[in-house]
Chains A and B, each alone.
Chain A
């Protein structure tokens, strides 16, 4: 694997390999010394052009557990705010000697540009680009689902037949896109539930069913209920009248949560808007995987960093 830019181009075997390596990485957290010497001497740059705490911290923890050196770069307070271009930033990082670049950018496709441009010869990991993709989030979601279903016998398994319902702002959500591609590659049946104003204009090429009624979706008894965050920073249009109406129609409130099968996993990529897309009772229940997702995020990102940065990069 040379870069990790999207889940759309990720094959089934590649995805399962990544999840299996993540299982090995998860075991590291249970040991006396929670650190591997694997990426000693490698430099990973967290290049964040958009605000993020959990993703950046997660990548930082993952790189440090593999003994890589981490440089955090956020656009605020950097030369980017003075008008430096992506090209100059990339060439600066190349001159510093970065082996891996984890990039988050408000423009869809920015990681792809970085990977194809030849400005920098590092492994590129997409940590969220615009409304395009967020592959490590989808991978950690798949990892979390697989672990809840199969426990310690997860290795080598896919998600065949698992019914996943993704609810919320599909239009702006890179998490939803990455999940649609990855989960369907792994054999899951994905359905999307959203207000009609928050569904992309054309989803005919997506391997997912689109619906508008959350109550119907709840009564179908899915295996996984994934709530998306309402991203206030992207709500520049009137997509729905107000947040109370959204919560009432498309939020997982206490009554809908009570109607779910007891085995249904409740997932959320975080940070949660409690009381808007998810109620506190649902978020704090035993069915909620929110904290597991955070823990598993580190393991999955360790796996991605390992697969990208170890090995002779000339040959791959």
Chain B
């Protein structure tokens, strides 16, 4: 049975807090670039950029884009062929503070691939990581700087993230496991 962990209001609150935390750690929106990992990370990135814009006023127009990591995965020859999603990097990332955004942080392999991909676009000053859900079970030395919700889970469980833009409804649920 799927158990809802976050509802729409919870998700919005978590993203609002993350947006404030990003601004706090960066001391404003200067030099900031938000890059989401498709599909849902890109949606979350756009929301966070919009929130930062409304917090800081019209002076802050934060560049936001999408960074597809399909071509950088380490399991390409182990699974079926994946269809890549478009990448859109708004301007040069040289010297910028890049915030990567994803929906769920799990093994850390996606983020490893994203760091490799970023490397091919230029040299950012710093790279931060924001995720809606951190479910643990890291396989690489990677951690998130901004976390919407820590969700201890077993590897047998499944985390579903639905967002209005991609799925019509909006919630985070956990299912499977001990049963």
Q: Does B58 count as interface, using CB distance less than 8 angstroms?
A: no
The answer to whether B84 touches A315 (Cβ under 8 A) is no
Query: Interface 1/0s, chain B 73-103, versus A by CB < 8 A?
Result: 0001111111111110000000000000000
The answer to whether B80 touches A36 (Cβ under 8 A) is no
Q: A310-B76, A311-B80 are in contact. Are A37 and B122 (CB under 8 A)?
A: no
A17 closest partner in B (C-beta): B83
Instruction: Find residues 1-44 in chain A having any chain B CB closer than 8 Å to their own CB.
Output: 1, 17, 20-21, 23-24, 27, 31-33, 35-38
Q: Does A255 count as interface, using CB distance less than 8 angstroms?
A: no
A312 neighbours in B (Cβ, 8 Å): 77-80
Q: Give Cα A306 to B120, complex, Å.
A: 19
Inter-chain contact total with CB atoms closer than 8 Å:
53
Q: Give Cα A17 to B120, complex, Å.
A: 25
The answer to whether A27 touches B87 (Cβ under 8 A) is yes
Q: Does A274 count as interface, using CB distance less than 8 angstroms?
A: no
Q: A24-B68, A33-B119 are in contact. Are A38 and B76 (CB under 8 A)?
A: yes
Q: Does A242 count as interface, using CB distance less than 8 angstroms?
A: no
Q: A36-B71, A38-B76 are in contact. Are A311 and B81 (CB under 8 A)?
A: yes
Q: Give Cα A140 to B122, complex, Å.
A: 29
B116 neighbours in A (Cβ, 8 Å): 37
Q: Does B171 count as interface, using CB distance less than 8 angstroms?
A: no
A33 closest partner in B (C-beta): B120
**Cβ contact of A23, chosen from B72, B77, B81, B86, cutoff 8 A:** B86
A307 neighbours in B (Cβ, 8 Å): 81
Q: A32-B122, A33-B120 are in contact. Are A310 and B81 (CB under 8 A)?
A: yes
Q: Does A316 count as interface, using CB distance less than 8 angstroms?
A: yes
Q: Using CB atoms and an 8 Å cutoff, list the residues of chain B in contact with chain A.
A: 68, 71-72, 76-87, 116, 119-122
Q: Using CB atoms and an 8 Å cutoff, list the residues of chain A in contact with chain B.
A: 1, 17, 20-21, 23-24, 27, 31-33, 35-38, 66, 155, 306-307, 310-312, 315-316
**3 pairs of A and B residues whose beta carbons are closest in the complex:** A311-B81, A33-B120, A38-B71
